[in-house]
Amino acid sequence: MYSLHAITDSIQNWLSVRFSPLWVLIIESLIVIVLAIALFAVLGLVLVWLERKVAAHMQIRLGPNRLGPAGIFQTSADTLKLILKEGLTPDGADKLLFNFAPFIVMIVAMLALAPIAFANGFQIWDVNIGVLYVSAVSSLSVIGILIAGWASNNKYSLLGAMRSGAQIVSYELSAGLSILTIVVLTGSLQISDIVHAQQNGWWLFKGHIPVIIAFVIFLIAATAETNRAPFDLAEAESELTAGFHTEYSGMKFALFFLAEYINIFIVCAIGATLFLGGWMPFHIGDWTQFNHVMDYIPSSIWFFGKTFFLIFLIMWFRWTFPRLRVDQLLTLEWKYLLPISLFNLLLVTVIAIMNWHF
């Protein structure tokens, strides 16, 4: 298996030989900043483009195809346009908070990137409470939405923000519980531990039906937490025009837009890490030959492949289902997902203790 440790370590060594520790820190920070921003930009562009293409093909049409091959520059044009568009602040708004909200959303999205293992040995911070950290940070994102909705001084925004507040907050529970199933199986919160525990098979396959149930619940909760259809009540277009970001324009709106996609990426990355083994290649029992072939595929490709597969699933949901009503949304969580995932967690615990999993 390839590991990026060698590369990162050599950079580290090279730097520490040449510069004082402070400078090393600064240079490394700069590298991380540049990488993170680049990742953001590229992810935003690619995901939006992907979504449009997926939507188009499900809807028997072509989708963007006039700018560049298969329209891949379409989103670049959109981004550039959004940057160049006037960023309005309504007169009646709470101007400070109004302009502050996109930053919060962005910071939250960025912070959640920290523990994600993009490849073997490529992780910004392998925090020892990994998944707990991610759920903590993602619970912050509701704040940005609440602020945006309230500060806009617009009824649609406020309604949308309230809805999304209740929604995100509720679905955090079942997301957390399904994350816990994996924690129970692994016995660690650290992302790297979780990935390594799946060396001989992904949890999804090793863990019997309870893990599959947990996976499904996680997917549903992830969709809801990122405000995606069919849970996109916060920006329900046919009800609240544009929901909590009704009053945002230009770059500020683009930041919300981008954050939405980054959040999708993050939850899908977490999902891929927990259930599909992160950057671990696909291994089958003791087919050594096969496993070797799989090992030749770089770990980052595995990671991104899995993540994008989950992203595709979430997009698939979006372009198929009608939206739930707000009370049904909460009923779904409180009456179905939460009891099921609690029960499921106990089941997984039994499996884990009895060592019934593979």
Q: Please, which of residues 254-273 interact with other proteins by CB under 8 A?
A: 254-255
Q: What is the Cα–Cα distance from 221 to 225, expressed in whole angstroms? A: 6
Token pair 């947990």 in the structure block, residue: 214
Task: Count the residues of the shown chain that bind other proteins, applying the rule CB under 8 A.
Answer: 145
CB 148 within 8 A of CB 90: no
Enumerate residues 127-146 that contact other proteins by CB under 8 A.
Answer: 127-129, 132-133, 135-137, 139-140, 142-143, 146
Interface positions, 309-338, toward other proteins (CB under 8 A): 316-317, 319-328, 330-331, 334-336, 338
Q: Which is nearer to other proteins, 47 or 110 (CB)?
A: 110
CA triplet 112, 123, 274: central angle to 5 degrees?
65
Name which of 288 and 328 has its Cβ closer to other proteins: 328
- Give the shortest CB-65-to-other proteins separation in angstroms: 5
Shortest approach of other proteins to residue 258 CB, angstroms?
9
Give, as one character, the DSSP assignment of residue 280.
P
Out of 7, 25, 42, 301, name the contact with other proteins by CB under 8 A.
25
Which 34-63 residues touch other proteins, going by CB under 8 A?
36-37, 40-41, 52, 54-63
Map residue 119 onto helix, strand or coil: strand
Instruction: Please tell me whether residue 290 binds other proteins under the rule CB under 8 A.
Output: no
* 147 and 97 Cβ atoms separated by less than 8 Å: yes
Tell me which DSSP letter residue 122 carries.
E
142 vs 195, beta carbon nearer other proteins:
142
Residue with tokens 């039906």: 209
Min separation Cβ 279 and other proteins, Å = 19
Binding flags for other proteins, 211-230, as an x/- string (CB under 8 A): ------------------xx
- Residue 95 binds other proteins, judged by CB under 8 A: no
Q: Which of 1, 46, 188, 295 binds other proteins (CB under 8 A)?
A: 188
Which residues 291-310 are close enough to bind other proteins by CB under 8 A?
Answer: none
Which of 160, 277 has the CB closer to other proteins? 160
Residue 60 CA from chain centroid, whole number: 28
Nearer to other proteins, 80 or 284 (CB): 80
Minimum gap (Å) between residue 304 Cβ and other proteins: 20
How far CA 172 is from CA of 45, 223, 338, in Å, comes to 27, 11, 10
Q: Which stretch binds other proteins (CB under 8 A): 154-162, 200-208, 273-281, 292-300?
A: 154-162
Query: Binding to other proteins by residue 5, rule CB under 8 A?
Result: no
Residue 62 C-beta: closest distance to other proteins, Å: 4
CB 168 within 8 A of CB 146: no
Residue 126 DSSP one-character state = -
148 vs 102: CA distance, rounded Å: 8
The least CB distance from residue 76 to other proteins, in Å, is 8
Tell me the H-state helices in the chain. 5-18, 21-58, 74-83, 95-111, 130-138, 141-151, 155-186, 191-197, 203-206, 208-225, 237-240, 250-276, 288-295, 299-318, 326-331, 338-354
Among 43, 45, 74, 304, binds other proteins (CB under 8 A): 74
Contact 122, 278 (CB under 8 A): no
Instruction: Determine contact, residues 221/232, Cβ cutoff 8 Å.
Output: no
Minimal distance in Å, beta carbon 306 to other proteins?
19
